[in-house]
Amino acid sequence: MCHEFIGPAIDTAVTHYARTLTFPPSAAAAAKTTAALQALQTPHVSTDPIDSLVVALKCHHTLPVLRQLKHRLRPESCITLVQNGMGVYDQLCTTLWPDPITRPQFILGSTTHGARARLRTPKKVKRTPGGGLEFERSVVHTGIGELVFGVVPDPRREVDYDQRLFALDSSTRNGAQQYSLAMPIDSPRLPLPSLSPSSTTSSSPLSQTPLEATLTALLSLYELNPSLLPMPTMYQTLLQKLAVNCAVNPLTGLLSVLNGALVGSPHAGWAMSEILRECSEVITRYLASLAAPTTTSATATSDTDTQHRLDPETVAAFSPDSLERRTIQVLAATARNTSSMASDMAHLASINPNSSVSSGGTEIEYITGYLVRLGERMGVPTPVNRTMLEFVQAKEEIYGMSPGMVVKSPEAGLKIGRANTGKKKVEKGDKLKKVKVTAKL
C-alpha cells in the first residue's frame, strides 16, 4: 500500500512556526512563516487518483482540504473520517458530492485512545545541513482505548453493506431498532466478505475494492483494539460520544482545566448534568424520529412517541443518568488529560498578536453547535448548551480580534533580556535575576 503525505513544505512550515514561538519575533521570521503557510494552502496539483483517504483533521479543517483533493477522488474511492464531532459527513455530501452517483464510499470512525503531539526545541539546538533548525517531534500515547468503525450505506444503493458484513437476514431486520448499544453484534473477522455488487464470495487481496482494502487495513490494527459496528449502532456510538464531548469540552476549555478537575466541582457537576439532560432529550427524540420515517415535523414526536418507538435498551442508554455515568467514567479514565477544546483554547492564548500564525479555532460548531441545531430540528430547547456555544464562540472572537485585551498571568508580561554572559535574565521592577526560559509548543 502506498502512503502519501499531502502538502508542500510541511516541515518548513512546522520549523518556522516553532521558531516563531520559541525565539523573539522578528520581521524576517514572520515573513518566512507567512510564506510557509501560503505554500501549505496552495492546492495540491497532482492528478493521481486516491483509492483510500484517511482524514484525522479537526472538523473545521476537513472541507477546505477535501475541496483541494476532490478532483482525485472517484466514486470507487474510500474516505475514512476519524474525528471528534458530528456533521462533517453531511457537510461534505451537501457541498462537494450532492449527487450520490459521484459520491465516494465513506467509513466513519471513533476512538477512545488518548494521544497528544509534542513539538519542542532540543536542549541543544542543532542546525540541519540546509541551515535550518532541528526540532523534536513525536506523538505520545496517553491512554489505551478502542477504535470503532461503521460503513456508511452505499450511496448508489447497490449493496447492503451491513447485511453482508454481519451476515444478517434482511427479511428479519426491523430497521434501526434491530441494532442498539445494549445489544452489540460481534465485529466480523478477516477475511471480509466481498462488498462488490457483482460478487458475494470472500474478497481476494488481489481484487479488493478500495472499501474492502481500507476495512481490512483498519481491522488489522490489532494493537489499537479495532472493531466494526453496524452503521445504526455506530451512529448511536457517535451520538453517545457527542453527548460526553458536549459536557466535557466546552467546560474544560472555558475553565482552562484538565478533565479530572470537573469531577471535584459541584458547580461544574451541575453544569454537566444540565448539559446531559438536554442531550438526552434531543438525542432520544431524534432517534425516535428515525424509527418513524414518516415523521416530518418536530411536534409530531412527543415524549410518549419516543418511549413507544424506541426499544427500552436504547431509551435507557441515552437517559440523563446513563449519559452522566458514562461522562464520569471518561473523566476518571482521562483525569490527567487535556481535552481537545482546552488544548485549542490554550493555543489561542499562546499565539503572539504580531504573529501571522493562524489559531485554527475550536470544533465547537461540530460538537455543541451540532447538538443545538439538532435540538432546533426536534423542537427541543437547549438553553445551557446554547450558552456554552456562545461563550466558546465569544472567547474565540476575543482572542482573534483583541488579543491585547486578554488577561494573562503576571509572568507573561515579564520582559526578557539577555545578559552579557549569554544567559537569560528577567527584568521586573528594579530586580534582576537569572531564570531558565523554556517554550511550550
Per residue in 162-177, pLDDT tens? Answer: 999 998 654 444 444 4
Average pLDDT on 398-423 reads: 57
Provide the H-helix boundaries in 292-319.
Answer: 303-309, 312-317
β-partners of residue 126 are: 134
Exposed, middle or buried by CB within 10 Å (0-12, 13-18, 19+), for 79? buried
User: Dihedral angle at the C-alpha atoms of 284, 290, 292, 297, nearest 10 degrees?
Assistant: 80
Say which residue, 36 or 277, is predicted with more confidence. 277
Residue 37: per-residue pLDDT: 57
Q: Assess contact for 398 and 405: CB atoms under 8 A.
A: yes
Provide the H-helix boundaries in 96-226.
Answer: 161-165, 210-219
Per-residue pLDDT band at 428 (split at 50, 70, 90): very low
Helix (H) or strand (E) holding 138: strand 136-143
The grid coordinates of residue 387 equal: 450558552
Residue 405: pLDDT over 90: no
Angle at 334 between CA 336 and CA 279, to 5 degrees: 130
Q: What are phi and psi of 313, to 5 degrees?
A: -65, -40
Per-residue pLDDT band at 397 (split at 50, 70, 90): confident
How far apart (Å, rounded) are the C-alpha atoms in residues 332 and 317?
19
Residue 433: pLDDT over 50: no
Rg (CA), the chain: 24
Residue 309: per-residue pLDDT: 75
For the chain, domains (ranges, CATH) are 43-159+186-228 (3.40.50), 233-405 (1.10.1040.10), 410-441 (no CATH)
DSSP letter (8 states) at residue 186: P
Fill in the amino acid letter for 439. Answer: A
pLDDT, mean over the chain: 78
The grid coordinates of residue 305 equal: 412517541
Each residue of 213-257: pLDDT tens digit?
Answer: 999 999 999 999 999 999 999 999 999 999 999 999 999 999 999
Residue 150: per-residue pLDDT: 95
Each residue of 322-332: pLDDT tens digit?
Answer: 999 999 999 99
Residue 3: per-residue pLDDT: 52
Most confident of 99-103, 195-199, 297-301, 303-307: 99-103
Residue 331: per-residue pLDDT: 92
Q: What are phi and psi of 192, to 5 degrees?
A: -80, 155
Per the listing, cell 413507544 goes with: 308
Residue 392: pLDDT over 60: yes
Residue 436: pLDDT over 90: no
Residue 419: per-residue pLDDT: 41
Whole-prediction pTM value? 0.77
Q: How many CB atoms within 10 Å of residue 22?
A: 18
